[in-house]
Chains A and B, each alone.
Chain A
């Protein structure tokens, strides 16, 4: 069933499906219901990184160098996990400046330079067209493999190759058509290629699924899982080399270079820049992509070694190319469905790469090569009131076709030559040359146009000399002694041992020399002179992109321009309707009715320039706007002044923010302090009012009884005696209250007299118990003592301690039931002091009252028996006394099961600082 018509039909159906998805995505975007506003789609679209070079090539590289296929995926993984902030900054800059491509990015950063944009475009085109060719080759090889089915015939020996090559020509054309339809619908950069992104995400899913399907088929169908495969790996000596961590001949340097190289490629390949930065809908999507994309890479690599081992074992000695194992293993098992699925997966990998790369390159070619040339010949500036948007789209479409045809041509010319096989890493190395200008531009204000030009040129030339030309020589297009004897026979100029540097693999070698030249020239030339006006302006916009709001950079423009002129200019490139809509929207945002202002302000000029930049690139936009606006040039001093002011403003506003937050904090603190004061006031008031109440109450009875006695001289003797007795006891209560209030006030104010000396606590307790024995006898209660002899001494005031003990004992007595009451006094040793507990079998105290009873005037009585006698100051005073000598007083009680009051006191020798407290 794998005859040519079937293969063609399935391929066309699949491409048709992609068309449908892309069309649907675009339609939804037009309706404002984006289907790609989703972090998963974003992460999947990033997987355009995995081309046929991954899909078919990973297994080939695994056979050649064991796990040496991995570093190419470690680089992007590291970027996503650790370097995502670089991507974030790129996204911010691109959005704020309506940048359309990496060439535009670099050109815009260094003062909107046409020359730089053109250079970047040329490097990209030279570096990437062979890479596109590689994709076409992969498709045609797999087609020719399929056509010889069920035989497995390597493509280069086959007569079917020419048919397949013709087929791949048509595939190239179909891809061009696809790219044109979905890549060049509009000219405005804010209009994303939503349909294309949706199609790419689908392709990424398909290639992952089909690769996993082959992996599962080989691992679990042909063998018994990973364990089985790795057992084979160990038992076959020729396979064991696959399992070593760093294969000999590659070395750590090689790994390091590949990781750096792939990280740079992941950031700066035009197609990666397109999907990760230009097509980004929402920068928050980066968060999920930061783990989802590395996960994708992990999944697509997980079966590489098993397939490699499976292929080596299965095709041992049959001369089957390891690059084809993914397809040939299912073919050898006559698993036709899986074969087709793999073919579609490979087609996906190729198509995705080709489409996105071509869109990105065509934008660059149009905006950074063709437009500047046309501007130079003044074709555009003076063709009055002509709608140029059609022309621009035409240029881009033409560029797409030309790029794809160039790719096809390279593929037909190079064929099986080395130059095509090795192009993956060579391409990466070309793109890596953008790194100094890009990263330097985003993080260093000092970089200049001259520096960027010098760096890029130097890096590009070294790259061409050390990688591209040798690849031509190895393909036989250049004499071989170029490699062995150096240029013109100069030994030092041998391209792969430049200046005698040997011991590196060719990629590390190229990376070392090209980066040395690139970074050296970039920094060196940049430092020759300070940045000029345009460079300084753009440096501020790029370097500060992530700072407070970023996009609201200072407006660096002075001059006169008419609104109508600007609108007409924009209209010529975007179409009059779109220009009208954009200007109206701007007017609405800035609160002026459309058409009222004739004179454009700096902001409007900048807006118009940004609109144009989306269509024709920032450098050309600059030139076009300058053609309608009468600009007064700003001097570098003025620019620096404005930038300075802007940064000062930022500093001031930050300072203001800080001060205002400090003020808020201070206000809150004041409020809290005020509340605390009021609370203290209230407490003091409460205490005064409590004291007053406690004083007035006995006074009330005393006065009443006294007046009764005075007014009635003939009162019965019994009443008289009873009343006099009550008067006496109430005066006693008053005296006690006054004494205790004064006592507490003295303790609290720190004016109490403390006669501290070393005491035997046992003696103090016995004395206190003796003093209260009368009360307990009246209540018929038993007092048990458990007081060990010869305990260490404690440091305290004897009278005060007796006061505490009397208070605790009389409290206990107060709540005992008559006749059954028992009080148990225990003295015991702790690690650092002594503990006294007074336990009664009274009614106990509710848990919520355990702390309350230590507050002043807070008696907690059994409400059934009315108010307990006492002043409500005994426990607060006792607690303060104990605390004064470094101990603690608390109560433990369960209602109904009695209460235990405990206090601790530290040993005399453990508390030297108390000497001071005692004085």
Chain B
């Protein structure tokens, strides 16, 4: 059974590229374009992994991450933060809030796949 991954990002073109990449590798892909939608989809679909952009409308990635980690039913969901703001403080903030990994935009697709597989234990 294939792993389910949610991509949460408000940049349409980034979503298109990652979605294409992950589907090609055989993952089941869900998409959300803002923080609230992301949270709702995680609760409804229980994906194995969330690729979470930080700068999103309505609810930013940090808040989504915090909300997910506060929910014991979702403790199995892995979180990979993606952000264009690559400062150390942001990285440690994301990890401190319970994210499992952190990648800075722009990233190489190979590294992204490697990180995704690592987090899913594959």
Chain A residues within CB distance 8 Å of chain B: 689, 692-694, 696-705, 707-708, 711-712, 719, 723, 726, 730, 861, 863, 866-867
Number of B residues with CB within 8 Å of any CB on chain A: 27
Indicate with 1 or 0, residue by residue over B76-114, a CB within 8 angstroms of chain A CB atoms.
000000001111000000000000000011111110000
A730→B12 contact, CB < 8 A: no
The A interface is mostly helix, strand or loop, or mixed, namely helix
Bound-state CA distance A692–B104 (Å) is: 12
Q: Which residues of A contact B21 (CB under 8 A)?
A: 704, 708
B84→A702 contact, CB < 8 A: no
A700→B84 contact, CB < 8 A: yes
Q: Nearest A residue to B15 by beta-carbon distance?
A: A701
The contact sample of 8 A-B pairs, CB cut-off 8 A, is: A696-B84, A698-B13, A703-B107, A704-B109, A707-B108, A708-B17, A861-B57, A866-B33
A726→B84 contact, CB < 8 A: no
Q: Nearest A residue to B55 by beta-carbon distance?
A: A693
Q: Which residues of A contact B58 (CB under 8 A)?
A: 863
Bound-state CA distance A698–B105 (Å) is: 9
A708→B20 contact, CB < 8 A: yes
Bound-state CA distance A916–B79 (Å) is: 58
A711→B109 contact, CB < 8 A: yes
Bound-state CA distance A693–B82 (Å) is: 12
Cross-chain contact of A689 among B85, B104, B107, B109 (Cβ < 8 A): B85
Task: Scan residues 40-92 of chain B and give those whose CB is less than 8 A from a CB of chain A.
Answer: 55, 57-58, 84-87
Bound-state CA distance A708–B57 (Å) is: 28
The B interface is mostly helix, strand or loop, or mixed, namely loop
Bound-state CA distance A398–B103 (Å) is: 106
B57→A730 contact, CB < 8 A: no
Q: Nearest B residue to A862 by beta-carbon distance?
A: B57
Q: Which residues of A contact B85 (CB under 8 A)?
A: 689, 692-693
| B120 interface residue (CB < 8 Å to A) | no
Q: Which residues of B contact A702 (CB under 8 A)?
A: 106
Given contact pairs A689-B85, A692-B85, A866-B57, A707 touches B34 in the complex (Cβ within 8 A): no
A697→B105 contact, CB < 8 A: yes
Q: How far is the CB of B60 from chain A (nearest CB, A)?
A: 12
Q: Which residues of A contact B16 (CB under 8 A)?
A: 701, 726
Given contacts A705-B13, A707-B110, A863-B34, 8 further A-B contacts (CB under 8 A): A692-B86, A697-B14, A700-B11, A702-B106, A703-B106, A703-B109, A704-B17, A866-B12
Q: Which residues of A contact B55 (CB under 8 A)?
A: 693
B106→A696 contact, CB < 8 A: yes
| B24 interface residue (CB < 8 Å to A) | yes
Cross-chain contact of A701 among B10, B11, B24, B108 (Cβ < 8 A): B11
| B18 interface residue (CB < 8 Å to A) | yes
Given contact pairs A704-B14, A704-B18, A866-B57, A699 touches B109 in the complex (Cβ within 8 A): no
Can you list the 3 inter-chain pairs with the closest CB atoms, starting with the nearest?
A: A704-B17, A696-B84, A701-B13
Q: How far is the CB of A872 from chain B (nearest CB, A)?
A: 12
Bound-state CA distance A730–B17 (Å) is: 13
Indicate with 1 or 0, residue by residue over B1-41, a CB within 8 angstroms of chain A CB atoms.
00000000011111011101100100000000110000000
Bound-state CA distance A867–B18 (Å) is: 19
Q: Which residues of B contact A723 (CB under 8 A)?
A: 17
Cross-chain contact of A697 among B11, B24, B34, B107 (Cβ < 8 A): B11
Given contact pairs A861-B57, A866-B33, A699 touches B10 in the complex (Cβ within 8 A): no
Bound-state CA distance A582–B107 (Å) is: 89
Q: Which residues of B contact A700 (CB under 8 A)?
A: 11, 14, 84, 105-107
Bound-state CA distance A495–B10 (Å) is: 111
Bound-state CA distance A783–B11 (Å) is: 31
Q: How far is the CB of A858 from chain B (nearest CB, A)?
A: 13
Q: How far is the CB of B56 from chain A (nearest CB, A)?
A: 9
Chain B residues within CB distance 8 Å of chain A: 10-14, 16-18, 20-21, 24, 33-34, 55, 57-58, 84-87, 104-110
Q: Nearest A residue to B108 by beta-carbon distance?
A: A707
Q: Which residues of A contact B106 (CB under 8 A)?
A: 696, 699-700, 702-704
Q: Which residues of A contact B110 (CB under 8 A)?
A: 707
B20→A719 contact, CB < 8 A: yes
Bound-state CA distance A370–B16 (Å) is: 115
Cross-chain contact of B57 among A711, A712, A867 (Cβ < 8 A): A867
Q: Which residues of A contact B87 (CB under 8 A)?
A: 689
Determine which residue in A700, A702, A866 has the highest number of CB atoms from chain B within 10 A of its CB, and name it. Answer: A700
Q: Which residues of A contact B84 (CB under 8 A)?
A: 692-694, 696-697, 700
Determine which residue in B20, B24, B85, B110 has the highest number of CB atoms from chain A within 10 A of its CB, and name it. Answer: B20
Q: Nearest B residue to A867 by beta-carbon distance?
A: B10
B13→A726 contact, CB < 8 A: yes
Bound-state CA distance A712–B24 (Å) is: 10
Bound-state CA distance A869–B63 (Å) is: 24
Bound-state CA distance A730–B58 (Å) is: 24
Given contact pairs A692-B85, A693-B84, A707-B110, A866 touches B105 in the complex (Cβ within 8 A): no
Bound-state CA distance A831–B34 (Å) is: 48
Bound-state CA distance A689–B84 (Å) is: 9
A707→B109 contact, CB < 8 A: yes
Bound-state CA distance A696–B106 (Å) is: 6
Q: How far is the CB of A695 from chain B (nearest CB, A)?
A: 8
Q: Nearest B residue to A685 by beta-carbon distance?
A: B87
Q: Nearest B residue to A712 by beta-carbon distance?
A: B24
B108→A703 contact, CB < 8 A: yes
Q: Which residues of A contact B107 (CB under 8 A)?
A: 700, 703-704
Q: How far is the CB of A175 from chain B (nearest CB, A)?
A: 90
Q: How far is the CB of A287 from chain B (nearest CB, A)?
A: 60
Cross-chain contact of B105 among A696, A705, A711, A726 (Cβ < 8 A): A696
Cross-chain contact of B34 among A694, A704, A866 (Cβ < 8 A): A866
Bound-state CA distance A697–B57 (Å) is: 15
Bound-state CA distance A698–B34 (Å) is: 18
Q: Which residues of A contact B33 (CB under 8 A)?
A: 866
Bound-state CA distance A286–B94 (Å) is: 69
A701→B14 contact, CB < 8 A: yes
B13→A730 contact, CB < 8 A: yes
Bound-state CA distance A719–B33 (Å) is: 22
Q: How far is the CB of A731 from chain B (nearest CB, A)?
A: 12
Q: Which residues of A contact B104 (CB under 8 A)?
A: 696
Q: Which residues of A contact B11 (CB under 8 A)?
A: 697, 700-701, 867
Q: Nearest A residue to B58 by beta-carbon distance?
A: A863
Q: Nearest B residue to A719 by beta-carbon distance?
A: B20
Cross-chain contact of A866 among B10, B14, B109 (Cβ < 8 A): B10
Bound-state CA distance A703–B106 (Å) is: 7
Bound-state CA distance A723–B17 (Å) is: 8
B105→A708 contact, CB < 8 A: no
Q: Which residues of A contact B13 (CB under 8 A)?
A: 698, 701, 705, 726, 730
B105→A699 contact, CB < 8 A: yes
Q: How far is the CB of B55 from chain A (nearest CB, A)?
A: 7
Q: How far is the CB of B68 from chain A (nearest CB, A)?
A: 21
Q: How far is the CB of B52 from chain A (nearest CB, A)?
A: 14
Q: How far is the CB of A770 from chain B (nearest CB, A)?
A: 31
Q: How far is the CB of B30 from chain A (nearest CB, A)?
A: 17
Q: Which residues of A contact B57 (CB under 8 A)?
A: 861, 863, 866-867
Q: Nearest B residue to A726 by beta-carbon distance?
A: B13
Q: Which residues of B contact A694 (CB under 8 A)?
A: 84
Q: Nearest A residue to B54 by beta-carbon distance?
A: A693
Bound-state CA distance A186–B13 (Å) is: 101
Q: How far is the CB of B64 from chain A (nearest CB, A)?
A: 15
Determine which residue in B10, B17, B18, B55 has the highest number of CB atoms from chain A within 10 A of its CB, and name it. Answer: B17
Q: How far is the CB of A917 from chain B (nearest CB, A)?
A: 38
B10→A708 contact, CB < 8 A: no
Bound-state CA distance A711–B14 (Å) is: 17
Bound-state CA distance A692–B105 (Å) is: 10
Bound-state CA distance A730–B110 (Å) is: 21
Bound-state CA distance A702–B17 (Å) is: 9
Q: Nearest A residue to B13 by beta-carbon distance?
A: A701
Bound-state CA distance A204–B33 (Å) is: 88
Q: Which residues of A contact B20 (CB under 8 A)?
A: 708, 719
Q: Which residues of B contact A712 (CB under 8 A)?
A: 24
Determine which residue in B13, B18, B104, B107 has the highest number of CB atoms from chain A within 10 A of its CB, and name it. Answer: B13
Bound-state CA distance A804–B113 (Å) is: 45
